[in-house]
Amino acid sequence: MNVIQEEGARPIKAWVERREDGTLNIEDSALQQTKNLARLPFIASNGVALMPDVHAGIGSTVGSVIATDKAVIPAAVGVDIGCGMNAVRLTLRADQLPDSLAKIRDAIEAAVPLGAGGGHTKSRVPHGHGGDDIHPVWKEFHNTRIKERLGDGIFEKAWNQLGTLGSGNHFIELCLDESDQVWLMLHSGSRGVGNKIGTHFIERAKRNMEKFFINLPHQDLAYFPEETDDFNEYVEAVSWAQNYALENRRQMMMACVDALRDNIPTAFLPTTEAVNCHHNYVEKENHFGRNIWVTRKGAVRAREGDLGIIPGSMGQRSYIVRGKGNPQSYCSCSHGAGRVMSRTEARRRFSLADLIAQTEGVECRKDDAVLDEIPGSYKPIDQVMANQADLVEVVHELRAVLCVKGA
């Protein structure tokens, strides 16, 4: 861990390596974003924690843990509220998989709607407006004021996109662990409904700053003070979106398991070894003897004993980890490998031939639509893991053999 301390600001604690010239391996834009955060008066006294996969983001740095006292920053949580990972080990071995995984990939792609606007009306979750069979995710929705603020269409969007993957860095993978046991793993969040909720409250916070003539280092640091109507409505909406994201991943995992069963003759079951965790969310937690709001923007909770998932880049190695409960990181760890270049730069620098070479041996798309997700555009996962040895221990190392992307 390295500490950056500037006068008049909270400390910045960074789990990153140093370059040959002695400077921390953090891009200038990410470091400036974090320094802006550290100067806010409501940042907790222990400061801001930067994870090994840190890089610049919209609103605040991706790979950061932001502890705030009696305030929340909607743009720090972002618009993919509750984005996270789900992984489950199956009672299948590598030698029970078919030699070609192409049909399994086709089956998963058919079972789970993909892409930015992907949706369906085939959710397994009862969504009526009453009755004993209504699922808690919908019952909770109807008990919030989300519809009052965002309109009736928000419910239809939530219903249509439940159980869908999305695009960008969201994925579904079939992996093998160190014992050649088969795992299913996926990455997604609260989809379009989370985007609408996040966007609405981010703009609302910015208008409040203008209304009350509050000057900030950057407009994306607009915040809601605790014990205000704005704060209460945001926490209510963001909590629902986080629960929706958990259910979204659960729905997709069920669909993927069914797709495998339809294409593998060997009977199998999911085991109890499973993880479903957020890495883009806000919750109230107790740290250093105080109840504070902790926003993990691209970070996973890693209290002592907590299981988490740290995925690598497209079709590469990932890790199931157990938290060590390091208090200096607010009991957190990284959420992945972390980008080292923008999507535009990745497309400029790499070719389809590079993508094919870097995903050799993995059943996945190898076309222009996913070129910006090429492994070379991410940090080496080995370095990321080495930098957080005091945050987590590795439980399983997973290697991907199949990867589904939403493009």
What 3 state SS string does 86-128 have? EEEEEEEEHHHCCCCCHHHHHHHHHHCCCCCCCCCCCCCCCCC
What is the three-state SS of 343-363? HHHHHHHCCHHHHHHHCCCCE
pLDDT of 68 reads: 97
Answer for the pair 79, 224: CB distance below 8 angstroms, yes or no: no
Helix (H) / strand (E) element for 48: namely strand 43-55
- Enumerate the known binding-site residues: 80, 169-173, 187, 279-280, 311-314, 318, 335-338, 405
DSSP tag of 378: B
Three-state secondary structure call for residue 352: helix
pLDDT tens digits, 104-157: 999 999 999 998 777 765 555 555 544 455 677 777 777 678 877 888 788 888
- 272: pLDDT strictly greater than 90: no
pLDDT of amino acid 353: 95
Contact criterion met (CB below 8 Å) for 88 and 183: yes
Asked whether the predicted pLDDT for residue 371 surpasses 90, the reply is: yes
Q: What is the predicted pLDDT for the residue at 136? A: 76
- Average pLDDT of the residues in 165-169: 87
Tokens of 317: 């190695």
Give the pLDDT of residue 254: 93
Please give the pLDDT value at position 132.
54
> Taking the CB of residue 50, how many other CB atoms lie within 10 A of it?
29
Residue 33 DSSP one-character state: H
Tokens for 403? 């990867």
Residue percentage of the chain with pLDDT more than 90: 76
Residue with the bigger pLDDT between 303 and 148: it is: 303
CA angle 47, 50, 56 (to 5 degrees): 115
pLDDT, position 20: 85
**Alpha-carbon gap, residue 11 to 7, rounded angstroms:** 9
335 catalytic, yes or no? yes
71-72 and 84-93 as β-strands: parallel, antiparallel, unpaired?
unpaired
Average pLDDT taken over every residue of the chain: 91
Q: What is the pLDDT of residue 228?
A: 95
Q: How far is 187 from 82, CA to CA, in rounded Å?
A: 11
**Residue 297 CB-half CA count within 13 A:** 29
d(C-alpha 119, C-alpha 157), whole Å: 8
- Tokens linked to 169: 């860095």
Averaged pLDDT for residues 215-243: 94
Identify whether the C-beta of residue 403 lies closer than 8 Å to the C-beta of residue 362: yes
Q: How confident is the model at residue 199 (pLDDT cuts 50, 70, 90)?
A: very high
Q: Tokens 């222990």 — which residue?
A: 46
- Number of Cβ within 10 Å of residue 42's Cβ equals 17
Mean pLDDT of 93-111: 95
pLDDT at residue 126, rounded to an integer = 55
Find the helix or strand (DSSP H, E) in which 70 lies. Answer: none
Q: Output the pTM of the full model.
A: 0.92
3-state secondary structure of 34: helix
Contact 403, 364 (CB under 8 A): yes
Contact 81, 245 (CB under 8 A): yes
User: E-strand spans in 189-345?
Assistant: 224-225, 270-278, 280-287, 290-297, 299-301, 307-310, 317-323, 332-334
pLDDT above 60 (res 266):
yes
Helix (H, G, I), strand (E, B) or coil at 381: helix
* Residue 181: alpha-carbon gap to chain centroid: 25
Sequence ranges of the binding site for Mn(2+): 80, 170, 187, 279
pLDDT of residue 157: 83
> Do the beta carbons of residue 49 and residue 65 sit within 8 Å?
yes
Give the integer Cα–Cα distance in Å for 401 and 260. Answer: 14
Strand partners, 277: 85
pLDDT at position 134 is 63
Can you list the domains of the chain with their CATH numbers?
Answer: 2-340+378-405 (3.90.1860.10)
Q: What local confidence, expressed as pLDDT, does residue 300 receive?
A: 97
Structure tokens at 377: 């555009």
Read off the pLDDT of residues 321-340 as tens digits, 9 standing for 90 and up.
999 999 999 999 999 988 88
- The pLDDT assigned to 127 comes to 55
pLDDT at 130: 46
| Binding-site entries for GMP | 169-173, 279-280, 311-314, 318, 335-338, 405
* Bridge partner residues of 404 (DSSP): 172
Instruction: Specify the higher pLDDT residue, 364 or 58.
Output: 364
Q: Which residue has the higher pLDDT, 299 or 19?
A: 299
| Distance between CA atoms of residues 110 and 164, nearest Å | 11
Q: Which of 55, 127, 278, 335 is catalytic?
A: 335
Q: Is the confidence at residue 404, as pLDDT, over 80? A: yes
Q: Is 393 helix (H, G, I), strand (E, B) or coil?
A: strand
Q: Which amino acid is at 265?
A: P
pLDDT in tens, 32-51: 999 999 999 999 999 999 99
Mean pLDDT of all residues in 294-305? 97
